[in-house]
Amino acid sequence: MADAPDETDTAAWADMLNPPSCGADLVPLEAPAGAQGRPERRGDVDGWGRSERMRALARRLYQPVYDTWFRVEWEGLEHIPREGGALLVANHGGAIPSDAPVIMHGIESELGRPLYGLADNLFRSVPVIGTLWSRTGGVPANPDNAYRLLHDEQQLVLVFPEGTKGTGKHLRERYQLQRFGRGGFVEIAMRSGVPIVPLAIMGNDETMPIVWKSPRLAKAIGVPYVPVTANMFLFGPLLGLIVPLPAKIRIRVLPPVTFDVASNQEHYERALILEHAEAIRASIQHGVHDMLRQRKSVWRG
Amino acid sequence: MRVLITGIGSVWGSRVARALEDLGSTEAIIGVDTEEPKVELDTTEFVRADEELSIVPRIARATQVDTILALHLATDTLHVSKQALHDRNVIGTTNVVAAASNDMVRKLVVKGSTHLYGSSYDDPYWFYEQTARKHPPTDPLERSLIEADDIVRELGDENRRVQVTRLRFVDVLSGELESPFGRLLQLPIVPEVLGFDPRIQLVHEVDAVAAVLHATLNQIPGVFNVAGDGVLPWSEVCAIVGKRRAPLPPLMTGWAAAALRRLGAPLPDELLRVIRYGRAVDASAFRAAGYRFTHTTASTVDDFAEWVRLHAAVGDTEPEYTYDHDTESFLRRSPSVVRD
| Span B23-79, pLDDT tens digits | 988 999 999 999 999 999 999 999 999 999 999 999 999 999 999 999 999 998 888
Residue A34 contacts B where some CB pair is shorter than 8 Å: yes
- C-alpha distance from residue A132 to each of A7, A62, A98, A135, B193 (Å): 46, 14, 16, 5, 15
CA-to-CA dists, residue B85 to A261, B10, B295, angstroms? 49, 15, 30
From the list B39, B290, B296, which residue is nearest A31 (CB)?
B296
Cα–Cα distances in Å, from A262 out to A132, A156, A274, B15? 37, 20, 17, 47
Q: Residue B28 contacts by C-beta under 8 Å, 6 or more apart in sequence?
A: B2, B3, B43, B45, B63, B65
Which residues of chain B have a CB within 8 Å of the CB of A34? 295-296, 298-299, 302
What letters, b where the CB count within 10 A reaches 16 and e where it falls short, cover A107-123?
A: bbeeeeebbbbbbbbeb
Q: State the CATH class of domain A52-294.
A: alpha beta
pLDDT in tens, chain B (340 residues): 999 999 999 999 999 999 999 998 899 999 999 999 999 999 999 999 999 999 999 999 999 999 999 999 999 888 888 899 999 999 999 999 999 999 999 999 999 999 999 999 999 999 999 999 999 998 899 999 999 999 999 998 888 899 999 999 999 999 888 899 999 999 999 999 999 999 999 999 999 999 999 999 999 999 999 999 999 999 999 999 999 999 999 999 999 999 999 998 999 989 999 999 999 999 999 999 999 999 999 999 999 999 999 998 988 777 678 888 888 889 888 889 887 6
Q: Pick out chain A residues at pLDDT < 70.
A: 1-41
Nearest to B113 by CA among B217, B12, B235, B186: B12
Is A122 an 8 Å CB contact of chain B? yes
Chain A, residues 245-284, CB within 8 A of chain B, namely: none
Measure the CA angle with vertex A33, ends A27 and A34; round to 5°. 120
Mutation target for B interface from A3, A6, A21: give the one with most B CBs within 10 A. A6
What residues in B contact A38, CB-CB < 8 Å? Answer: 298-299, 302
Beta strands per DSSP E along chain B: 2-6, 28-33, 45-48, 67-70, 107-113, 163-169, 172-173, 189-193, 199-200, 203-204, 222-226, 232-233, 244-248
Q: Which of B15, B121, B213 sits opposite A121 (nearest CB)?
A: B121
| DSSP H helix total and E strand total for chain B | 13, 13
Burial of A261 (0-12, 13-18, 19+ CB in 10 A): middle
Q: What is the pLDDT of residues A66-115, one digit of tens each?
A: 999 999 999 999 999 999 999 999 999 999 999 999 999 999 999 999 99
Closest-CA distance of chain A to residue B74, Å: 25
Q: In the prediction, which pLDDT does B210 show?
A: 97
The pLDDT value recorded for residue A301 is 86
Say if the Cβ atoms of A128 and B240 lie within 8 Å. no
Domain extent listing, chain B: 2-318
Distance CA(A93)–CA(A207), nearest Å, equals: 8
Give B83 to chain A, closest Cα distance, Å: 32
Give the pLDDT confidence score for residue A130 in this predicted structure.
95
Tell me how far apart the terminal alpha carbons of chain B are, to the nearest angstrom. Answer: 20
Residues A49 and B199: beta-carbon distance below 8 Å: yes
Look at B206 and A27 and tell me if their CB atoms are within 8 Å. Answer: no
**Contact criterion met (CB < 8 Å) for B299 and A45:** no
Residues 181-240, chain A: which have Cβ within 8 Å of B? none
* CATH fold of the domain at B2-318: Rossmann fold (3.40.50)
Q: What residue in B sits closest to A148 (Cα-Cα)?
A: B126
Q: Could you say which of B131, B288, B292 has the minimum Cβ distance to residue A16?
A: B292
Please name the residues in contact with A172: beta carbons below 8 A apart, sequence gap of 6 or more. Answer: none
Closest CA to B8 of B17, B320, B98: B17
> B255-285 pLDDT, tens per residue?
999 999 999 899 998 999 999 999 999 999 9
Listed by start position, the domains of chain A span 52-294
Q: How far apart are CA A150 and CA B65, in angstroms?
A: 47
Chain A stretch 129-158, residues whose beta carbon is closer than 8 A to a beta carbon of chain B:
129-131, 139-140, 142-145, 148
Distance from the Cα of B277 to chain A's closest Cα (Å) equals 8
What pLDDT is attached to residue A1?
36
Instruction: Tell me the HSE value of B285 on the side-chain side, using a 13 A CA sphere.
Output: 18
Residues of B in Cβ contact (< 8 Å) with A40: 229-230, 296, 298-299
Residues in chain B within 8 Å Cβ distance of A140: 121-122, 124-125
Nearest CB to A34; choose among B197, B218, B296? B296
Tell whether A24 is within 8 A of chain B (Cβ). Answer: no
The number of C-beta contacts closer than 8 angstroms across A and B is 148
**Beta strand B203-204 pairing with B172-173:** parallel
